[in-house]
Amino acid sequence: MVGSAIRELKPNPDWIYLTSKDCDLSDYQKVKDCFHEYKPDIIIHLAANVGGLFKNAAHRLEMFNTNMIMNYNVLDNAYNAKIQRVICCLSTCIFPDGLNRVLTESDLHLGEPHSSNYGYAYAKRMMEVQCRLYNETPGFHYQCIIPTNIYGPRDNFHLENSHVIPGLIHKCYLRSLSLSSASTSNELVIMGTGLPRRQFIYSKDLAKIIVRLVEENIYEPLLICSCPESEETTIYQAAKWIAGQFGIEKVVASELKSQNTENDGQQVKTASPARLLSLFPDFQFTQLENGIQETVQWFKNNYPNVRM
């Protein structure tokens, strides 16, 4: 998703774009051979075994092991090949749970992550530690960006293992197919209370940030990439915007009345983009409603040939 968005920006004709079909990052030797073949100056490491709340919670050991292996193989081979710059992608879900304040870069290791993200979160945290250790070698700049919930074209739209926006888009699409039936009510039922608040970032916005970091030689070691706190929204509101794109008039949160938070994950994980905006004070984020509209249109144009 993010790599494709970078490619569409066409930042430099010499940039090389690899997918999992080009190299198995779980195989140390194959990664070594890949770097030897392409001889990159900079690596943008976006690959991960990633999913939404339910995948992270159900496969904690798998998420930890696979991401630890991939991250180690990429970073250690880059270091041994004397590639002096790597940009790695983390996630705000790896921050400590329960700090009850707006999160900043310095909060990353101040407590344990939410239990639902335990395996994935610690694998990502260890990548940040590994980068810091490599940076003790003069001339090396291994940095980590921390985006909030990413969404956009070419996302994974799996009904169970995806993040919230692509999952809801797919669910709304299937729901819309049955609206012509007189016996079908015009409503969408979502899991959880819908009350958790999230900051979302459009994949094309994140791509622009990454390209600017490279082109402007910004070596910030740890950087939250999110929209301003004022643009944070609830899962329920995001679901309403998505449902509206499919002609669905009503959204019902299945656990709102009981206030059961089992399917909610973290209630709040607001992150501050202050450091990012100090670097790019002119940056304009895509409004969530507009980004959802573009993503839904892409999904409709490409279904069923989407990742799911």
3-state helix, strand, coil in the chain (%, to 5): 45, 15, 40
Q: 79's torsion region: left (phi>0), alpha (psi -120 to 50) or beta?
A: alpha
Question: Is 120 part of the annotated catalytic residue set?
Answer: yes
Which of 51, 97, 55 lies closest to 270, judged by CA?
A: 97
Q: Max Cα separation, the chain?
A: 69
Q: Which residues pair with residue 197 across a beta bridge?
A: 234, 268
CB 55 within 8 A of CB 12: no
State the Cα–Cα distance between residues 118 and 266, nearest whole angstrom: 12
CB 116 within 8 A of CB 53: yes
From 79, 120, 122, 173, active-site residue: 120
Strands 42-45 and 197-198 turn out to be unpaired
For the chain, the structural domain boundaries read 2-302
Q: What is the CATH topology of the domain spanning 2-302?
A: Rossmann fold (3.40.50)
Please spell the DSSP secondary structure of 74-99, one letter per residue.
HHHHHHHTT--EEEEE--GGGSBS--
DSSP state of 160: T
User: What number of helices (H) and strands (E) belong to the chain?
Assistant: 10, 10
**For 290, what's the count of Cα atoms within 13 Å in the CB-facing half-sphere?**
8
State the Cα–Cα distance between residues 279 and 269, nearest whole angstrom: 22
Phi, psi of 33 (to 5 degrees): -65, -40
3-class DSSP assignment, residue 42: strand
Distance, first Cα to last Cα, the chain: 13
Residue bearing tokens 């710059």: 85
Strands 197-198 and 233-234 turn out to be antiparallel
Per-residue model confidence as pLDDT tens for the chain (308 residues): 999 999 999 999 999 999 999 999 999 999 999 999 999 999 999 999 987 666 767 788 999 999 999 999 999 999 999 999 999 999 998 999 989 899 999 999 999 998 888 899 999 999 999 999 999 999 999 999 999 999 999 999 998 888 899 999 999 999 888 876 655 678 888 888 888 889 999 999 999 999 999 999 999 999 999 999 989 999 999 999 999 999 998 888 876 655 555 567 778 889 999 999 999 999 999 999 999 999 999 999 999 999 98
Instruction: For residue 276, count other CB atoms closer than 10 A to its CB.
Output: 23
Model confidence pLDDT, tens digit, residues 31-52: 999 999 999 999 999 999 987 6
CB 164 within 8 A of CB 190: no
Helix (H) or strand (E) holding 253: strand 250-253
Model confidence pLDDT, tens digit, residues 56-67: 677 889 999 999
CB 163 within 8 A of CB 52: yes
Model confidence pLDDT, tens digit, residues 47-102: 999 876 667 677 889 999 999 999 999 999 999 999 999 999 999 989 999 898 99
